[in-house]
Amino acid sequence: MFRRMLPAAGLLAALAAPAGAQTQLTIQHPLPLNSHYGAGASALKEAFERASSNRFRVNIQRNDNEREAIESVQIGTIECSITSTGPVGNFVPETRVLDVPFLFRDTAHARGVLDTEIGQGLLGRFQPRGLAGVVWMENGFRHLTNSRREVNMPADVRGMKVRTMENQVHMRAFTALGALPTPMAFSELVPALQQGTVDGQENPIPVIVANNLNQVQRFLTLTGHVYSPAILICNPAFLARMSAADRAAFTEAARAGAAANRARVTAEEQSGVEELRRRGMTVVTQVDNAAFQAALAPSAQQIEQQLDAALLRRIREWRQ
């Protein structure tokens, strides 16, 4: 009865998309909304909702356990996640090449590699693992913080309990420096620092700022020991259900998200050190990077023998 009363055009529209139907898309990421990940997720949301005339609704949620979020994307209980590569190597081992200390000379080198065929090739390695690698985002260069002492030289790290990500490459590097690496999820980091389970941790400036790690760490040393990529991953079945046009719009929105995320990292890497000083941290800015690199050299071979040597060489030799 009621259906017959609908005008024909309205009925067609109702059949194509039940009234008010909206596809929900959840993106989880660690860190507060007001962070470089939040900036990326928000820009994506805005671009994709606009491009799809609100047929898609993007929900942004915080989840500080990156491994858990990746598993949820695999299972499909959430659609997408922005994560550092920390736990990603346990799912897609090929990405571990990116976690090698002192691999990238600077931000331009890292972004260049990720945006051209090497990075695009690595995105393709997610599919066989039940994940879709959509776009590379960024976390920034990682620096060491601790609550014990001013770290100037590699020897100062000896015996220090340092939280690392759940990442074999990072753990090996900190073992080589003589630290006691303690891998744990990001969600466990602040309690572990508060309780003194670990003395230190390492993260990029934007993470230290967004997560107020200055409240639990006194000393910051600008080691820049490794570039920390981030990635937007999505559930492959979810992407496959989209029309080709929607998928193209989503990819474009994801690129806008990556641009916003990187712009924010650049800004915070510039302003963040001053901000952390203002919040009371003691910052060591003059760091002998060569000394840290030399301390890691004997272990580099051990770290790299399990990685794709040819790919590592291509990354090192990459020039714009």
Residues that bind ligand EAX (CB under 6 A): 30, 66, 84, 86, 139, 165, 186, 203, 207, 228
Q: Which is nearer to ligand EAX, 223 or 228 (CB)?
A: 228
CB of 84 to ligand EAX, least distance (A): 3
Question: To the nearest whole angstrom, how small is the minimum distance from the Cβ of residue 96 to ligand EAX?
Answer: 15
Helices (H), 17-106: 36-51, 66-75
Residue owning tokens 């736990």: 87
Could you give the C-alpha distances from 258 to 11, 39, 70, 209, 226, in angstroms and in order?
40, 9, 18, 20, 20
The stretches of 17-167 forming alpha helices (DSSP H) are 36-51, 66-75, 107-115, 117-123
Least distance in angstroms from the C-beta of 140 to ligand EAX: 9
DSSP string over 171-215: HHHHHHTT-EEEE--GGGHHHHHHHTS-SEEEEEHHHHHHTTGGG
Burial class (CB in 10 A: 0-12, 13-18, 19+), 81: buried
Q: How far is the CB of 209 from ligand EAX (least distance, A)?
A: 12
Q: In the complex with ligand EAX, which residue's Cβ is closer, 56 or 186?
A: 186
Residue closer to ligand EAX (CB basis): 203 or 261:
203
User: What span, in angstroms and rounded, lies between the C-alpha atoms of 254 and 26?
Assistant: 14
CB of 317 vs ligand EAX, minimal distance in Å: 27
Q: How far is the CB of 308 from ligand EAX (least distance, A)?
A: 23
Give the separation between CA 291 and CA 280, rounded to whole angstroms.
Answer: 27
Nearer to ligand EAX, 70 or 165 (CB): 165
Of 66 and 156, CB closest to ligand EAX: 66
Q: Which is nearer to ligand EAX, 42 or 52 (CB)?
A: 42
